[in-house]
Structure 1
């Protein structure tokens, strides 16, 4: 058989395979837009879409879903009828969110805003050094660099002192983490495991990453936010330095919900339950709802988290996100907020860490500006924080980006805090951030060269996987 004949047979085989796989995409992709995009690409251009579909196209998984929903059901039964009882109106306006998450606002939280990496990791290291019984730790990324080795040393010291240390990291987010880093921790008594939604590792599966950042010390002191364990999060790696990020330290009853989120992931990975230590009595004034969201939820819980927060705003809604790729629900909520007279501002980076996402974000920013939303680009370095400020009493800090990965593909964690004093702290922080930013106009898009505008529109076609 001649080479042209072999080539023809290969092309025919690829197209037949593409059509077969396209039927799988139609049946299993989570959204109609994503299903249409995959089916069209697989049927017409299988040479360029078959391999990406192996890595990105799978949209369902089992096992973890069963475990997760069983946990949620038990939690719902335990708190049925009491989740909103006795709460002030400032909390009950988020009642739909609490019901969806099957959670509750816990009173009496003590909150501390941690601005940037140095403050965040000094607080975490101080807490670890004082641990007496247990440290639970979960990050999307660990790096074997100066900060990573400092974290390794701190965990080994506590394990040597008899403290139970349990660590989760994401297998894809920490793909560059060398095996010797993990083995050194295990040899020193630290229980450490990679997270995956399938117990049998699938090297073709890049979706459904665990993007949560959680630290709980002795059951009573908790941390969550946007930072991972790596030198870039301390602003030590140009060209994105200085790195702008935010974390939250909390104590009070809501820390138990951080433990519960960690426990579900740990149980899935190891088949065992971690220690669940009681938090200390409430001593603060804040009400906190912990939102553990992800693709195992029956609803698109992360997108709805943003939507509910936006819809609750009466006077002000300030958002900061590294990736501005809103879905239709979130963008519609932002538009409606503007129409209600709400001061809607969004802070995004002026530098790109992922070029395709940056291009798509720029086009979405243009659409937002046309709708009356004020968009600012942070100038000193890369802004990675994930913060929402609603009116004068509510502030959210977490791991959730404003993009489809966080909305539908990643496991995320956030804290919605109702407290005027904490909201005032967040307001001061964001005023400083906006003071270091430049408000952009529609001219940013209109004055861009045609090839760049074309690239933005092409990048937006990939919103479902960005």
Structure 2
């Protein structure tokens, strides 16, 4: 009887595995990912069926429709602004053209805006001091979005700052990711709501989001009164201030924008907020001109028709004629990005990648180690930051372009997460980013191809096995 029950259970699991494998063939975004899932689901359904429930979904409906409707409407308004700019009626509102990044703008149906003032904030103390100061000056509304919020010292400082503004009559909207902030205590949220703050969790699938680890909203955005915006790699938790060993000190970067580009930060937040609430958050026109920098807000995600994050990196790398310096906590590039990096080397471009020397996710760290070795063989200079955990997501292209945002060089950012970055064309801002990265490289050790050869055979096998998990890292 028991043997029969086991046999029936095994048969049912294998049948379910075949159906799940068919689903994977039809919907997984890459051939490599589909092959990996099919192999596991058909041969080992006892092991892979549950992970596939969490990690296998590759599309969703309602958010995609909303996203594409917004893009179509923005494209219409963008064309109208261009037309009026040519007529001289709204010349100040016309987008800035930069041939190197036009393809990115057309892909995302967004634009580059001139007249922005940019401020670089190195590490958490400086960034959160600026953000709390901006929140404290808010007069009309505050829009806040983080992937992770913790109920710790920094998280409570954020809570109290938002409650203070809400008590002053300012409209406050807070959006956090339901998986990234899964440990956030209900009491934290209840206190915010009781104080008048509008708080919601982001979820692409409302009815089964707790079983869905893909499609996380990894964006970090703050907008105050439509005048000032912040974007970068920091979340709201004590570890982002370097207060939690063993990863302390924590190395990260955020930036502040004043000017027309803040409108696009608002638009990205509004799209996510509308999906969750069915309502539009407050908004207002940004200042026409606060500085001289040109900025394009690059918002990517799995709702895009193209693999927009990967293509964005590819285009930015291809635009380089002098250098490409990239800092990322996870170096697991796809073939398009890795190919663009190698071709840049052959063009004589100074290509450098800065990674952490301490792991926060061991499998990703092992896969990154193998990719770093292969990159050195292609002439890419790889560095490991030794002064704590490096979490910043920054790219410097030539002498005038700097990107700061939430995007990692891994499959999750390329295809599965909602990400955001500011692409800035301004020599002064790029010079400040260059100085910051020069300090980072000075506190790093360069990877040598012989480092891999010195590893034991079993250790090298482990690195190759870790890389097999590329599609879900």
Kept in 1, the 8 Å contact 2:323–2:350? The answer is yes
5+ unaligned residues in a row in structure 2: which ranges? 87-93
Displacement of 1:88 after TM fit?
A: 7.2
Q: 1:239: which partner in 2?
A: 246
Which among 213, 217, 227 is matched to residue 206 of structure 1?
A: 213
* C-alpha separation in 1, matches of 2:129 and 2:319: 34
Q: 2:38: which partner in 1?
A: 39
Kept in 1, the 8 Å contact 2:96–2:112? The answer is no
TM-score, normalised on structure 2?
0.96
Q: 1:223: which partner in 2?
A: 230
Does the C-alpha gap of structure 1 residues 179 and 5 become closer, same or farther in structure 2, counting only changes over 3 Å?
same
Displacement of 1:442 after TM fit?
A: 1.3
Which among 151, 163, 186 is matched to residue 179 of structure 1?
A: 186
Q: 2:72: which partner in 1?
A: 73
Q: 2:14: which partner in 1?
A: 15
Deviation per residue, 1:114-144 (Å, 9 max, x gap): 0000000000000001100000000000000
User: 1:336-375 residue pairs with structure 2 within 5 A?
Assistant: 336-375=343-382
Deviation per residue, 1:320-370 (Å, 9 max, x gap): 000000000000000000000000000000000000100000011111111
Give the secondary-structure state (helix, strand or coil) at the position aligned to 2:395: strand
Deviation per residue, 1:51-107 (Å, 9 max, x gap): 100000011100000000000000011112739988777x22111111111111100
Q: 1:395: which partner in 2?
A: 402
Q: 1:24: which partner in 2?
A: 23
* C-alpha separation in 2, matches of 1:145 and 1:438: 33
Give the secondary-structure state (helix, strand or coil) at the position aligned to 2:340: helix
Displacement of 1:16 after TM fit?
A: 1.7
Kept in 1, the 8 Å contact 2:228–2:262? The answer is yes
* C-alpha separation in 1, matches of 2:405 and 2:417: 13
* C-alpha separation in 2, matches of 1:398 and 1:242: 20
Q: 1:418: which partner in 2?
A: 425
Q: 1:50: which partner in 2?
A: 49
* C-alpha separation in 2, matches of 1:199 and 1:273: 18
Kept in 1, the 8 Å contact 2:95–2:113? The answer is no
* C-alpha separation in 1, matches of 2:210 and 2:221: 25
5+ unaligned residues in a row in structure 1: which ranges? none
* C-alpha separation in 1, matches of 2:229 and 2:209: 32
Give the secondary-structure state (helix, strand or coil) at the position aligned to 1:292: strand
* C-alpha separation in 2, matches of 1:281 and 1:31: 42
* C-alpha separation in 2, matches of 1:449 and 1:322: 25
Does the C-alpha gap of structure 1 residues 88 and 296 become closer, same or farther in structure 2, counting only changes over 3 Å?
closer
**Mean Cα deviation higher: 141-150 or 20-29:** 20-29
Aligned CA RMSD, in angstroms, stands at 1.3
Displacement of 1:251 after TM fit?
A: 0.4
| Length, aligned pairs only | 464
Displacement of 1:6 after TM fit?
A: 2.5
* C-alpha separation in 1, matches of 2:455 and 2:190: 50
* C-alpha separation in 2, matches of 1:247 and 1:428: 15
* C-alpha separation in 1, matches of 2:196 and 2:458: 55
* C-alpha separation in 2, matches of 1:267 and 1:198: 14
Which among 418, 424, 439 is matched to residue 446 of structure 2?
A: 439
Give the secondary-structure state (helix, strand or coil) at the position aligned to 2:279: coil
Displacement of 1:430 after TM fit?
A: 0.2
* C-alpha separation in 2, matches of 1:116 and 1:413: 18
